Amino acid sequence: MRVESWFALAVRVIGIALLIIPGLLTLLDSLMLKLGYFDLPGTQPGYYLIYGTVQVVVGLYLFRGAPFLVDFAYSNQEDDEAEDEEK
């Protein structure tokens, strides 16, 4: 595997472990707060709902491989030119 592939794999793992799973738990907290299972004075369930949704959406982008991020980190312009010369 090339370094770019390892980077893409690390981005996917970060998307799952640090964003999607905690985001789903935050959405669950929003539901539990709305249903009255616990109460945090001054906190609205909408805060947890928005925060959890943003976490899940960004996590899904990273899980899909974050093509813009990987291309930005590893621009293949030089590699593509070298391959074109070999052909």
Q: How many domains does the chain have?
A: 1
The whole model's pTM is what? 0.75
Residue 8 has which token pair?
Answer: 């893409």
Instruction: Determine the structural domain holding residue 7 and report its residue range.
Output: 3-86
Residue-level length of the chain: 87
Would you give per-residue pLDDT tens digits along the chain (87 residues)? 788 889 889 999 999 999 999 999 999 999 999 898 888 888 888 999 999 999 999 999 999 988 888 888 888 655 655 665 666
Q: What are the CB-based long-range contacts (under 8 Å, 24+) for 24-28? A: 24/52, 24/56, 25/52, 26/51, 26/52, 26/55, 27/52, 27/53, 27/56
